[in-house]
Chain A
Amino acid sequence: MRRTSLLLMQGAVAVVIIAFWQIASTTDLIGDPNNISFFFSTPLAVAAQIWMWFATGTIWHHLGITLWESVLAFVIGSVAAVGIGFWFARKPRLAAVFDPYVKAANALPRVVLAPIFTLWFGLGIWSKVALGVTLVFFIVFFNVYQGVKEVNTTILANARMLGMNDRQLLRHVYWPSALSWMFSSLHVSVGFAVVGAVVGEYLGAAGGLGYLIQQAEGVFDVAGVFAGMVVLAAFVLLIDWIVTLAERRLLVWRPEFSKSGR
Chain B
Amino acid sequence: MTKTVAAASGAGFREAPAGSEPAVELDGVTIEFALAGGSVFQAVARADLNVGKQEFVAIIGPTGCGKSTLLNAAAGLITPASGSVRVLGGPLDGLNRHAGYLFQQDALLPWKTALDNVAIGLEVAGVPSREAKERARAWLARVGLAAFGDRYPHMLSGGQKKRVALAQVLIRDPRIILMDEPFGPLDAQTRLIMGDLLLKLWSADRKAVMFVTHDLEEALGLADRVVVMSAGPSARIIGDFPIPLSRPRDISEIRLDGSFQELHRDIWHMLKKEVLKAYGEIAQETAS
Give chain A's interface residues, CB within 8 Å of chain B. 152, 154-155, 157-165, 168, 172-173, 176-177, 180, 252-255, 258, 260
With contacts A157-B103, A163-B124 known, is A173 near B109, CB below 8 A? yes
For B152, the chain A residues whose CB sits under 8 A away are: 252-253, 258
Determine the interface band of chain B, counting residues with CB < 8 A from chain A: 20 to 34
Are A158 and B124 touching (Cβ within 8 A)? no
Query: Nearest residue in A to B178 (C-beta to C-beta)?
Result: A161
Are B109 and A161 touching (Cβ within 8 A)? no
Partner of A154, one of B99, B100, B107: B107
Partner of B109, one of A172, A255, A260: A172
Are B107 and A168 touching (Cβ within 8 A)? no
Nearest Cβ on chain B to A150's Cβ, whole angstroms:
13
Q: Can you list 15 A-B contacts (CB < 8 A)?
A: A152-B107, A157-B101, A157-B103, A162-B100, A162-B120, A162-B121, A162-B168, A162-B172, A165-B124, A172-B109, A253-B112, A253-B153, A254-B110, A258-B154, A258-B155
Partner of B124, one of A157, A172, A176, A180: A172
Minimum-distance CB pairs A-B, first 8: A158-B107, A253-B152, A161-B101, A162-B121, A176-B111, A255-B154, A154-B105, A253-B111
Nearest Cβ on chain A to B155's Cβ, whole angstroms:
6
Query: Nearest residue in A to B96 (C-beta to C-beta)?
Result: A161
Query: Nearest residue in A to B75 (C-beta to C-beta)?
Result: A161
What is the predominant secondary structure among interface residues of chain A facing chain B?
helix
Nearest Cβ on chain B to A225's Cβ, whole angstroms:
45
Return the CB mask of B174-212 against A: 1 if under 8 Å, else 0.
000000000000000000000000000000000000000
Not counting A155-B108, A163-B172, a sample of 13 additional A-B residue pairs whose C-beta atoms are within 8 angstroms of each other reads A154-B105, A157-B107, A158-B108, A161-B75, A162-B121, A162-B124, A163-B121, A164-B124, A172-B112, A253-B110, A254-B110, A255-B154, A260-B155
Give chain B's interface residues, CB within 8 Å of chain A. 75, 77, 95-97, 99-101, 103, 105-113, 120-121, 124-125, 152-155, 168-169, 172
For A255, the chain B residues whose CB sits under 8 A away are: 154
Nearest Cβ on chain B to A79's Cβ, whole angstroms:
20
For B113, the chain A residues whose CB sits under 8 A away are: 253
For B121, the chain A residues whose CB sits under 8 A away are: 162-163
For A155, the chain B residues whose CB sits under 8 A away are: 106-110
For A168, the chain B residues whose CB sits under 8 A away are: 124
Are B112 and A163 touching (Cβ within 8 A)? no
With contacts A162-B168, A163-B97, A260-B155 known, is A172 near B103, CB below 8 A? no
Are B111 and A161 touching (Cβ within 8 A)? no
Are A254 and B99 touching (Cβ within 8 A)? no
Nearest Cβ on chain A to B54's Cβ, whole angstroms:
21
The listed residue with most A CB atoms (<10 A of its CB), out of B105, B108, B172, is B105
Partner of B154, one of A152, A173, A253: A253
For B124, the chain A residues whose CB sits under 8 A away are: 162-165, 168, 172
